[in-house]
Amino acid sequence: MNKLTKKELALALSFPFLLAACSGDAKKESKEDDAFKGAISKPLVTDIYTADPSAHVFNGKIYIYPSHDIESGVPEDDNGAHFDMKDYHVLSMDSVGGPVTDHGVALSIKDIPWAGRQLWAPDAAYKDGTYYLYFPVKDKQDVFRIGVATSKSPTGPFIPEKEPIKNSFSIDPAVFTDSDGSSYMYFGGIWGGQLQRWKDGKYDANGSKTDLENDSLPSLNAKIAKLGPDMKQFAEAPKDVMVVDKDGKPFLTGDHDRRFFEAAWVHKYNGKYYFSYSTGDTHYLAYGIGDSPYGPFTYQGAFLKPVVGWTTHHSIVEHNGKWLLFYHDTEVSGGKTHLRNVKVTELKHDAEGKIEMIDPYGKK
């Protein structure tokens, strides 16, 4: 395929707003309305910008751990420097459609001793009376590492460890706890997420900008590592999470509609493990199904069409007998790709266990 740059793709997805900017106030409003016309859900909060929602049910209540987007004033570049988040807020609600509570700052970058910049998409977990907040942030050498902070409350405040998790790297930690109590972290993201700089097991600051330069090479994969009993360190070296086609063949870099890019998540349904992720530069959420937390996961298809905005990042959780998809778009900011808002909609599995396609704007 002919690949656009990250900026070009963002502009393409925001095209209605570019048209509006050239056509006067009345047409501007019309185009902005058109972009989100038919939206199947509304932003959960509108007084702050939120993205990358990791949702969990603790004690029967839904808690959401999102990124907290801000207008940082940092110039935009191709590695996402303008996504310069400084803290995390925790949101909660008793039920979908009910009031949403913003519990304020749960963790600030200034309280993380080893942090440099950019608090990106977090996740959370619970074990034995303690809540764990996992977060990626660049260290003082500008290398993304994954840290962990703890609290006795699901809303924090969270106290960070003095060092990042040993052997952690890249972005988008997502922790899945299986029915036997074992917990696993999935992580990784290419491009600004730096996963491509770790292809030989060591960080290469001058490595490939992305892994998109050669379509015929095997695509990079998300990573998985089992967590130790204290939930603060890996119990093993990270391994590749393989997503394969129906014939068991892994995807190539050029398979943009199916390959892993970022935003890993795992949920379990009818005894099967569902590994879902963002295709990144083609803006789909896709998934595979496997028999083990480690995979391999056989690709099944996409289940969320592109949102208005550059990124797609999600979580899937069951609450009161329904499966819910948390995701984001840019409705509150009028299409600014770095100022996003969290949404939620119902996710359905069909009789064969496949996830039904969702269009965030209701188009058929």
Neighbours of 343 (CB within 10 A): 22
Non-local (6+) Cβ contacts of 194 within 8 A are 143, 144, 169, 170, 171, 203
CA distances from 80 to 7, 37, 119, 250 (A): 10, 28, 12, 28
**Side-chain half-sphere exposure of 203, counting CA atoms within 13 A:** 14
Reading the block at residue 317, the tokens are 């959780």
Residue 193 DSSP class = G
Ordered strands of the 243-244 beta sheet: 243-244, 297-304, 285-290, 272-278, 262-269
Residue 91 DSSP class = E
Measured in whole angstroms, how far is the alpha carbon of residue 328 from the centre of its chain? Answer: 10
The DSSP result for 228-286, as a single string, is -TTSSSBSS--EEE-EE-TTSPBPBTT-TTTS--EEEEEEEETTEEEEEEE-STT--EE
Q: Annotated catalytic sites, by residue?
A: 52, 262
Nearest Cα residue to 148 out of 162, 129, 127:
162
Dihedral of alpha carbons 297, 303, 306, 311, sign: negative
Inter-residue contact 253 to 214 (CB < 8 Å): yes
Residue 350 to residue 231: CA distance in whole angstroms: 34
- Quick check: helix, strand or coil at residue 96? coil
- Quick check: helix, strand or coil at residue 20? helix
Residue 25 to residue 27: CA distance in whole angstroms: 6
Residue 157 to residue 177: CA distance in whole angstroms: 22
